[in-house]
C-alpha cells in the first residue's frame, strides 16, 4: 500500500508542479519509476538502502509492523523529488525540508522507542 501511495504522490506532485510552472516554460511529467535512471540510482547500489532498513528491522531498531520496503521507497521518492526541486530552484532548501521531514518520520514512525 505504501508503494502505491508514494507513486500516487509522485503523480500528483508532477501534475501540480506542471500547473504552477508551465507559464514560465518549466514542465513536469510523471513517468514509470522503473524505466528512469536518476542521479540517486546512478551512484547508489539499489539494494543498499533496502539492506540498511532490513538490518535495522532485524536488530529490533524499528517499531513492530514497520514495512522496510515502504520505508526505503519513501526515503528514495522523497530524496528524488527534493533533488529535482533543488536543481530547478538552484537552492538546497527543498533538500533541507525533506531531510527535516524524513528525520521526524524516522524518529516518530519508524524507530523503536
**Nearest alpha carbon to residue 85 among 26, 6, 11:** 26
Distance CA 30, CA 13 (A): 8
Cell of 75: 526515503
Predicted local distance difference test score (pLDDT) of residue 44:
61
Q: Per-residue pLDDT tens for 36-67? A: 555 655 566 657 777 877 888 888 888 888 88
Who's near 111: CB < 8 A, 6+ residues apart? 61, 62, 63
- DSSP structure class, residue 81: H
Tell me the pTM.
0.54
- Based on its alpha-carbon atoms, the radius of gyration of the chain, rounded to whole angstroms, reads 15
Amino acid at each position: 500500500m505504501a508503494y502505491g501511495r508514494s507513486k500516487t504522490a509522485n503523480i500528483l506532485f508532477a501534475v501540480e508542479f506542471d500547473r504552477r510552472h508551465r507559464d514560465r516554460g518549466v514542465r513536469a511529467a510523471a513517468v514509470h519509476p522503473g524505466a528512469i535512471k536518476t542521479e540517486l540510482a546512478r551512484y547508489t547500489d539499489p539494494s543498499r538502502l533496502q539492506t540498511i532498513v532490513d538490518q535495522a528491522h532485524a536488530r529490533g531498531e524499528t517499531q513492530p509492523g514497520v514495512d522496510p520496503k515502504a520505508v526505503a521507497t519513501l526515503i528514495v521518492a522523497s530524496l528524488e523529488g527534493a533533488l529535482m526541486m533543488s536543481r530547478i530552484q538552484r537552492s538546497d532548501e527543498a533538500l533541507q525540508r525533506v531531510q527535516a521531514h524524513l528525520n521526524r518520520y524516522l524518529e516518530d514512525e519508524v524507530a523503536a522507542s
